[in-house]
Each structure stands twice: as structure tokens, then as C-alpha cells.
């Protein structure tokens, strides 16, 4: 039996995944989490075989949760889940140590197959993500300007695009206001942008709002 943790802040997503896995005799959802803190706590308390983490959760991101989970249980395979373009998330997820990436738009059969594959100790890459990643091998080091951003800068970028102010971002990410302001300046410099409006337009045009 594959013991599964699902972490996603959207109740409808969790409900949909429950329905998917309820049909599988060899997979059991033993815990659900609404954010990174709950996911880490469940990992610490339970015996798990696979964890599914949403890339974009409130507060600490899925990537931050992944780092903490790996510190607790290095051998626990983690699948990252996202609505963002596969190339953008898959590359960051694998660099962070994820065992696989699954788009929220994937068919139920693909998600189930991904869970079984990583539970067996193998990596999972969807055909679409594999093609996009392969195309990037012959491209310049940063095929998209935002590829140059660190994971934290990428997180701040998307929060700014959602209309969050510096103080709100600082509270959500447990950072100082000055630190967030520094991240904002780096984002503007790296992307060649001039304002928060430019950031919002950039995120929307590239479909990385999540």
C-alpha cells in the first residue's frame, strides 16, 4: 500500500485528488495539508511513501516545504503539483530535489502513474515537461528572463503580481520589510522592469501567475 500525503491550499483540488485515489486499491491518502507547515508536520508525524505538494501555497512555498521534508525524511519522494507552465515549475522542482512534477491539468491516470513511479524509486517527468526541458538544453543559460531569479525572488515576483504590498509580503513570508524591498529591487533589475505594474504585466503575459 502506498501511503500518500496531499498538500494543497485549495479544497476543490484536494477533493478531486481524493476521488482519483479512492479508486486505486494500492494507494491510500493518510494525510492532507492546506499549507507548508501542515505538510511538514504530517511528514514528521506519519509514515509516508509519497508526498504531493502544491508549488504555490500560502506562506512558505511548496519548494520550501520540499526542503524541510527532505531534511526530515531524505528518502521520501515528493511530487510537485502546479497550474503554471510545466517548464517553469519542473526545472525549479527538480533542481530542488523533487522526484517528479505533475500539472494540475494532467489526466487522473497520469497522476496515479506518477505516484506509483516515484514510490518505486524512479523519477517522473510528464511527456510535455520532458519535451520542454529537452528543448531548453540547446538554449542559452536563461531562456526566459525569470529563469535568472532565485526561488525566493520568483515567489516574491508572483506575490507582487497579485497586488501584495511590501509589508503584506513580509508578513506572509516571515521576512523583514527591508528584505522584501531588496528582493523587489533585484527582480526589477534582473527583468529590466521599472514598476509593480510592469511586474504584473510580465507575470500575466508569461502565464506564471499560478
User: What CA–CA distance (Å, rounded) separates 12 from 113?
Assistant: 21
Name the band, by pLDDT with cuts 50, 70 and 90, for residue 114. Answer: very high
210 within some domain: no
- Largest distance between two CA atoms of the chain: 54
- One domain for residues 188 and 165: yes
User: What CA–CA distance (Å, rounded) separates 179 from 175?
Assistant: 6
Residues 30-73 have pLDDT tens digits of: 999 999 999 999 999 999 999 999 988 877 788 889 989 999 99
- One domain for residues 125 and 182: no
- One domain for residues 45 and 107: yes
By mean pLDDT, which of 4-8, 35-39, 203-207 is the weakest?
Answer: 203-207
Q: Which of 81, 111, 136 is the last residue of a domain?
A: 136
CA triple 81-148-184, angle to 5 deg: 90
Residues 153-203 have pLDDT tens digits of: 888 998 999 899 999 999 888 889 999 999 999 999 989 999 999 999 998
In terms of residue numbers, what domain contains 150?
A: 145-205
Q: CB neighbours (10 Å) of residue 124?
A: 23
Amino acid at each position: 500500500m502506498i501511503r500518500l500525503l496531499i498538500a494543497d491550499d485549495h479544497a476543490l483540488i484536494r477533493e478531486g485528488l481524493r476521488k482519483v485515489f479512492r479508486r486505486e486499491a494500492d494507494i491510500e491518502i493518510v494525510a492532507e495539508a492546506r499549507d507548508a507547515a501542515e505538510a511538514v508536520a504530517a511528514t514528521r508525524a506519519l509514515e509516508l511513501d509519497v508526498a504531493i505538494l502544491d508549488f504555490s501555497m500560502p506562506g512558505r512555498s511548496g519548494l520550501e516545504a520540499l526542503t524541510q521534508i527532505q531534511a526530515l525524511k531524505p528518502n521520501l519522494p515528493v511530487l510537485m503539483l502546479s497550474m503554471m507552465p510545466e517548464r517553469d515549475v519542473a526545472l525549479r522542482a527538480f533542481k530542488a530535489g523533487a522526484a517528479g512534477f505533475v500539472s494540475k491539468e494532467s489526466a487522473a491516470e497520469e497522476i496515479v502513474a506518477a505516484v506509483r513511479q516515484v514510490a518505486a524509486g524512479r523519477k517522473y517527468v510528464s511527456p510535455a515537461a520532458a519535451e520542454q526541458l529537452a528543448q531548453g538544453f540547446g538554449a542559452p543559460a536563461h531562456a526566459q528572463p525569470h529563469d535568472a531569479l532565485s526561488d525566493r525572488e520568483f515567489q516574491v515576483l508572483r506575490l507582487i503580481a497579485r497586488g501584495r504590498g511590501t509589508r503584506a509580503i513580509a508578513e506572509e513570508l516571515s521576512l523583514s520589510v527591508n528584505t522584501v524591498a531588496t528582493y523587489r529591487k533585484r527582480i526589477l533589475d534582473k527583468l529590466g522592469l521599472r514598476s509593480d505594474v510592469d511586474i504584473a504585466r510580465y507575470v500575466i503575459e508569461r502565464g506564471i501567475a499560478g
